Amino acid sequence: QQKLTGPLPLAGKFALVTAGPTYEAIDPVRFIGNHSSGKMGLALAVELHKLGASVTLVAGPGTPASPEGLNRVNIRSASDMLQACLEYYPAADITIMSAAVADYRPAQPAGQKIKKNSPTLTIDLEKTPDVLATLGAQKRPGQTLVGFALETEHEESYALAKLDKKNLDLIVLNSLNDQGAGFGTNTNKITIFNRNGEKTAFDLKPKTAVASDICAAVLRQMGL
Active site residues: 34
Cα–Cα distance for residue pair 159/147, rounded to 1 Å:
9
Taking the C-alpha atoms of residue 167 and residue 139, their distance in angstroms, rounded to an integer, is: 8
55 annotated as a binding-site residue: no
Whole-number Cα distances in Å, 35 to 38, 52, 181: 9, 31, 13
Distance in Å, CB of 100 to ligand CTP, minimum: 7
Q: Is residue 162 marked as binding? A: yes
141 annotated as ligand-binding: no
* Chosen from ligand CTP, Ca ion, none, partner binding at 96 (C-beta under 5 to 8 Å by type): none
Task: Give the one entry of ligand CTP, Ca ion, none that residue 80 binds, where binding means its C-beta sits below a cut-off of 5 to 8 angstroms depending on kind.
Answer: none
Chain residues that interact with ligand CTP, rule: CB under 6 A = 78, 97, 99, 101, 103, 128, 130-132, 147-150, 162
Residue whose CB is less far from Ca ion, 19 or 55: 19
- Quick one: 9 or 185, whose CB is closer to ligand CTP? 185
If contact means CB under 5 to 8 A according to the sort of partner, which of Ca ion, ligand CTP, none does residue 178 touch? Answer: none
The beta strands (E) that lie in the chain are given as 14-19, 24-27, 30-32, 54-59, 71-74, 94-97, 104-106, 125-127, 144-151, 170-175, 187-188, 190-194, 199-201, 205-206
43 makes contact, choosing from ligand CTP, Ca ion, none, with CB < 5 to 8 Å by partner type, with none
Is 29 known to sit in a ligand binding site? no
Minimal CB distance residue for Ca ion: 103
Least distance to ligand CTP, CB of residue 147, Å: 4
Measured between alpha carbons, how far is residue 86 from residues 23, 58, 172 in Å? 19, 11, 22
Q: What is the DSSP string of 63-86?
A: PPPPPTT-EEEE--SHHHHHHHHH
Nearer to ligand CTP, 157 or 186 (CB): 157
Nearer to ligand CTP, 113 or 127 (CB): 127
**20 Cβ contact list (under 8 Å, min separation 6):** 36, 37, 38, 41, 59, 60, 61, 62, 63, 99, 100
Amino acid, single-letter form, for residue 72: R
Q: Rounded to the nearest whole angstrom, what is the least distance from the CB of residue 117 to ligand CTP in the complex?
A: 32
Q: Minimum CB separation from ligand CTP for residue 114, in Å? A: 24
Q: Is 113 annotated as ligand-binding?
A: yes
* Site residues, Ca ion (CB under 5 A): 103
Binding residues for CTP: 103, 113, 129-132, 148, 162, 166
